[in-house]
Amino acid sequence: MSGLPGVLVAFGLALAALWIPPAFGLAPLREALRAAGVLVALGYAMRYLAEAHGVLKPAFLRIDHRQQEVARSLGAGRFRIIRHVLLPQVAPGLGAAALLLFIALVKELPVTLLVAPLHLRTLSYRIWERYSEAFLADAAAAGLLLLALTFMIQLLTMRWRHHA
């Protein structure tokens, strides 16, 4: 998990969006950044980049460089080596990172609430909104969906771990 709390990331980005554009005479840029989703993308990247790195680093360390040398000696180009040699070696790590980051992003609430575009409503936002309005049955259904997604992804990554 990331050691950086989502609330701090969100407040920092919101403060930067309020302060920086007017300071440089770019006041209309503030709403454009928020509406385009740039702030939420930056917030998610700041919050979960370390988590993605933690999953991808072992996958990249396991690359067998001898296979690249063999492909190069057989006349394969750079893109062919990437497609047929490197990508199959790191594909399980990329898949696991994508799934784990998907779950992390689905359950992220502070960044989504504070800097996301107004039309972006994630599953965690739906759970929070329904709970705050006392629609507990709707909140429970969305919570169960989040738990089911998490459980299925956990099963997939455990299966990959056993085959690695």
pLDDT digits (tens, 9 = 90+) for 126-138: 888 888 888 888 8
Distance of CA 147 to the CA centre of its chain: 18
CA angle 58, 62, 66 (to 5 degrees): 160
From the list 53, 83, 55, 57, the residue with the least C-alpha distance to 68 is 83
Provide the phi-psi class of 63: left if phi over 0, else alpha when psi is between -120 and 50, else beta.
beta
Residue 123 is predicted with a pLDDT of 77
How high is the pLDDT of residue 131? 82
Q: Note the pLDDT tens digit of each residue in 78-108.
A: 999 999 999 999 988 888 888 888 888 877 7
Q: Which residue, chain included where needed, has tokens 């771990």?
A: 161
Say which residue the tokens 């696991």 belong to: 96
Q: Give the integer Cα–Cα distance in Å for 61 and 56.
A: 9
pLDDT higher than threshold 70 for residue 75: yes
Residue 152 has pLDDT above 80, yes or no: yes
